[in-house]
Chains A and B, each alone.
Chain A
Amino acid sequence: NAGVTQTPKFRVLKTGQSMTLLCAQDMNHEYMYWYRQDPGMGLRLIHYSVGEGTTAKGEVPDGYNVSRLKKQNFLLGLESAAPSQTSVYFCASSRRSSTGNIPYGYTFGSGTRLTVV
C-alpha cells in the first residue's frame, strides 16, 4: 500500500529554471493538496484540488501552477524558480465524507526537498 508518492525526493535548480513535482495517490481520495514547509513557518497551503480537472489557490500560490488531469495525480509546477521557493514540498490527499463536510486527516507524501540557487 503505497499511499502518497512524491517524486523527486531531492532537486537542485538554478534560478529561472522550471520543474514539475509529481504526486500520486492510490487511495482513491477526492481531495489533494500541495503544502510547503519552511523553518519557523509550519506548513502553508499552495494549491489544492477537490477533484479531477479542478484546482484552487491556497495561501501562497504565487509562482506555482498545478494540474489534476487524473484523479490519482496532482502536479505542482514552477515555471521560473526563485531562491524564495527553496523549501520542502509536501503533497497530501484526503477522502471526501459522504456528507461532504467532515474533514478527514490527510495522508502525506514523504516530501520533496527543493533548493534553488
Chain B
Amino acid sequence: AQKVTQAQTEISVVEKEDVTLDCVYETRDTTYYLFWYKQPPSGELVFLIRRNSFDEQNEISGRYSWNFQKSTSSFNFTITASQVVDSAVYFCALSEVSTGTASKLTFGTGTRLQVTL
C-alpha cells in the first residue's frame, strides 16, 4: 500500500527565513508521481507541482524549490525568503500509474506553515 508521511505537523518561521517541508513516501511501484498542494486559510487546494519518479532533477520556481531523492524516498519542498502569504497547510501526495483508470492520490497529513512578521 502507498503511504505519504509528513512528520512536521506545524512549523513557525519569521518572514524572510527559509523553510523546508519534509515528505517521505512509500510505494512498491517503480513508476509513480509526486505532488505538492497548498491550502491557504481560505480553504481551497492549489496544485503546486507534479514530478515523476524518473526525473530526479531539482525543480525551482521563483522562491519555491523541490528536492526529489529516490534513494531516500523523499520529496522535500523549500520556500526561500518566506512571506506571510506563504502561510498555509501544505500537502504532499503520491499517485500510482494505472493504465485506463483514474490516478488516485494518496495524501500526507499536511504541514501547517505559519509565517509571521
Contacts and interface: CB of A to CB of B under 8 A. Distances in A.
Interface in A30-56: 30-31, 33, 35, 40-45, 48-50, 56
Interface stretch (A15-23, A76-84, A102-110): A102-110
A-B CB proximity, top 7 nearest:
A103-B103, A105-B47, A108-B45, A103-B95, A31-B102, A42-B107, A42-B109
Interface of B: 4, 9, 33, 35, 43-47, 50, 52, 91, 95-105, 107-110
8 contacts: A35-B107, A45-B104, A50-B101, A88-B43, A90-B45, A102-B97, A103-B105, A108-B46
A48 B99 contact: no
Nearest to B103: A103
Interface residues of A, number: 31
Q: Helix, strand, loop or mixed for chain A's interface?
A: strand
Given A103-B105, A104-B50, 15 more contacts: A31-B102, A31-B103, A35-B107, A42-B4, A42-B108, A42-B110, A43-B107, A48-B104, A50-B100, A101-B97, A102-B97, A103-B96, A104-B103, A108-B45, A110-B43
